[in-house]
Structure 1
Amino acid sequence: MKQLVIRAFGDADQLALVEAKSPTLATNEVRVKMHYAGVNPVDAKTRAGLGWGAAAIKDDLPWSPGLELMGTVLESGAEVSIHQAGDRVFGLLSGGCYSEEVVAPANALVAVPSSVNDEVAAGLALAGTTAWQGLTVHGNLAAGERVLISAAAGGVGHLAVQLAKDLGATVVALASPNNHEFLKELGADEVVDYHDRDQVRAIAPVDLLLDLVGGESGCQLLSVVKPGGRVITVPTITADEVIAAAKAAGLEARGMLKDNDTQQLAMLIKAVAEQRLTVKISQVYPLAQGAAAHRQIETGHTRGKLLLQGATD
């Protein structure tokens, strides 16, 4: 099988397509033909040698990235009863999804309803769980509150806008002007150009800031959070900086790492099947063009999600 691996930490050219043996199947695992793998900022940061992801795999190079899988079960281990050959599944793994075949614990994967297409299911898992957990588990967002979401047109952001609206919040979305109509269609109540500092400063105070950019941007947005309000900052590399600034301003603040929760995945895919949640797929790249996908995600200007496609035969 073909697999995309990080040969060494560095730029996107460190991704190489190699021929690899499909892993042995344990009794509690399933072998999945990868239809699509999600491409996420954490993949590019890990490849570049940054953050928790790189620290975790620094001694395991070459290593295949990809945390987000959608595909069809090829075979099941002897103890597996929840998934059988031919089932369409998706889920979150700890890596290795940039491969034509992936072996995964059966209980890490969730069935894809027949009404949800492969691409949409592939783009949901990581961004959806990050958005949901950021708003609810960590952010404690309640109906009637105001929430400000930065990078609102991105993978996590565009799902967070919809989920926050569904929770009964007033949603203030921060994005470039070319994404404003897109975000209004998703339900954003207010859309603000993040380039315009006067517009940003004029935002009415919010109860919760879901900071998906971090760093200087995250720190600047603290001024529009209500006294005693809450800040959830997602980028781990700058989390300490944003949290320190928030606490100095009298705000509650914390970083987060998403938990892999199949109950939440089932809830999210059900919302998609019921057309209560839309997943925007911006572009699909063949597995061999993983470097181009990484370069695009690193621009920081991707609407919705990017995917890698496995073999189509």
Structure 2
Amino acid sequence: MKQLMIKRFGDASQLELVEQEAPCLATNEIRVQMHFAGVNPVDAKTRAGLGWGAEAIKDQLPWTPGLEVMGTVLELGAEVSIYQEGDRVFGLLAGGGYSEQLVVPANALLRVPSAVSDETAAGLSLAGITAWQALTEHGCLKAGERVLISAAAGGVGHLAVQIAKNLGATVVALASSYNHEFLRNLGADEVLDYREQEQVSQLESVDLFIDLVGGNSGKSLLTNVKEQGRVVTVPTNTADDVINAALAKGLSATGMLKHNDNQQLANLMQAVVEQKLRVEISHVYPLAEGELAHRQIETGHTRGKVLLQG
């Protein structure tokens, strides 16, 4: 089987398509034929040797990226009864998704409902869980509150807009003008161009700010948060700077790392089935073109999700 691996940290050219023997199957595992794997900013940062992801796998190189996958069950371990061969499954991984086949514990993945496309299932997991946990577990968003979401058209952002709206919040979305109509169609109440600083500065203050950009952008938007308001900053490499700046203004602030939760993921999938949540897929690349997929995600201007097709 083929899989994309990195043998050392570096730019996108470090992704190498290699032929590997299919792993053996334990009694509690399933073998999955990958149809689509999500490509996320954390994949590119880890490949580059940055952040918590790179720290976690630095002694495991060569390593195959890919934290979310959708595919079909090919084979069942002897103790597995919750699936049948041919079942469509999706979910979160600790890595390895950029592979034609993968072996995972049977309880790690969830079944894809018949009404949901392969591509939608592939793009939901990581961005959906991150958006949900940022808004609810860390942001404690309540109905009637105002929430500001930066990078609102991106993978996490466009799902956060919809989830926040479903929770009863007033949603203020920041994005380039190209994405304004897209975000209005997703339910955003107010949409502003992040480059129009005067317009942004006059924005009515918000109860919660979900910072999906970090750095100077994250710090500059703290002035739009109400006194004693709340800030959740998602990019880990600048989290300390944004948190310290927020605390200096008397705001409550935290960074976050998502944790895998299949019940939350099942709830998000149910929202997709009920057409309360839409996953936008902007680019699909063959597995062999992983380098191009990483270069696209690194532009920082991707609408929705990028996928690799197995």
- With normalisation by structure 2, the TM-score equals 0.99
Q: Aligned partners of 1:97 and 1:228: how far apart in 2?
A: 41
Q: How many residues align?
A: 310
- The code of the aligned residue for 2:255 comes to G
Structure 2 counterpart SS, 1:282: strand
Residue in 1 aligned with 2:86? 86
Instruction: Flag as ranges the 4+ runs of structure 1 deviating above 2 A.
Output: none
C-alpha separation between the residues in 2 aligned to 1:3 and 1:39? Answer: 14
Map 1:216-255 onto structure 2 (within 5 A): 216-255=216-255
Instruction: Please give the secondary structure, in 2, of the residue aligned with 1:247.
Output: helix
Residue 185 of structure 1 corresponds to 185
Counterpart residue number, 2:144: 144
Give the Cα–Cα distance (whole angstroms) in 2 for the partners of residues 79 and 139 of structure 1. 40
For 1:252 and 1:29, locate their aligned partners in 2 and report how far apart those are by CA, in whole Å: 42
**1:104 Cα shift?**
0.9
Q: Displacement of 1:200 after TM fit?
A: 1.1
In structure 2, C-alpha distance between the alignment counterparts of 1:121 and 1:193, rounded to whole Å: 30
RMSD across aligned positions (CA): 0.6
Write the deviation string for residues 121-141 of structure 1: whole angstroms up to 9, x where unpaired. 000000000000000011100
Shift of residue 197 of structure 1? 0.6
Q: Unpaired segments of 5 or more residues in structure 2?
A: none
Q: CA deviation at 1:77?
A: 1.2
Match for residue 100 of structure 2?
100
Counterpart of 2:260, as a letter, is N
Show the counterpart of 1:202.
202
Kindly indicate whether residue 271 of structure 2 is the aligned counterpart of residue 271 of structure 1: yes
SS of 1:91's equivalent in the other structure is strand
The Cα offsets for residues 113-167 of structure 1, whole Å up to 9 and x where unpaired, read as: 0000000100000000000000001110000000000000000000000000000
SS at 1:123's partner residue? helix
Instruction: Indicate the percent of aligned positions where both proteins have the same amino acid.
Output: 74
Rounded to whole Å, the distance in 2 between the matches of 1:83 and 1:239 is: 40
Q: Which residue of 2 aligns with 1:124?
A: 124
Distance 1:79 1:150 in 2: 46
Q: Structure 2 counterpart of 1:56, which letter?
A: A
The alignment partner of 1:124 has SS state of: helix
SS at match of 2:85: coil
Give the aligned partner of residue 54 of structure 2: 54
1:302 aligns with 2:299: no
* Counterpart-to-counterpart distance in 2, 1:135 and 1:143: 12
Specify the code of the residue in structure 2 equivalent to 1:219: K
**Residue-by-residue CA offset, 1:64-87 (whole Å, 9 max, x unaligned):** 000001000111112222222111
Secondary structure of the residue aligned to 2:165 is helix
Q: CA deviation at 1:27?
A: 1.4
Paired letter, 1:134: A
In the other structure, the counterpart of 1:156 is 156
In 2, distance between residues paired with 1:218 and 1:38? Answer: 26
> Unmatched 5+ residue regions in structure 1?
none
Aligned counterparts of 1:73 and 1:27: Cα–Cα separation in 2: 14
- Cα distance in 1, alignment partners of residues 11 and 20 from structure 2: 22
Is the partner of 2:163 in helix, strand or coil?
helix
Q: Give 2:11's aligned residue.
A: 11
Q: Distance in 1 between matches of 2:243 and 2:295?
A: 29
CA distance in 2, matches of 1:176, 1:45: 23
One-letter amino acid of the counterpart of residue 279, structure 2: V
* In the alignment, structure 1 residue 112 sits paired with structure 2 residue 73: no
The residue identity in structure 2 corresponding to 1:91 is: G
- Normalised TM-score (structure 1): 0.98
Equivalence map 1:162-177=2 (5 Å): 162-177=162-177
Deviation string 1:148-190 (CA, Å, 9 cap, x unpaired) is 0000000000000000000000000000000000000000000
- Cα displacement (A) at 1:309: 0.2
Code of the residue aligned with 2:147 in structure 1: it is V
Aligned-residue offset at 1:31: 0.6
In 1, distance between residues paired with 2:298 and 2:91? 23
Query: Matches of 2:243 and 2:24 in 1, distance apart?
Result: 43
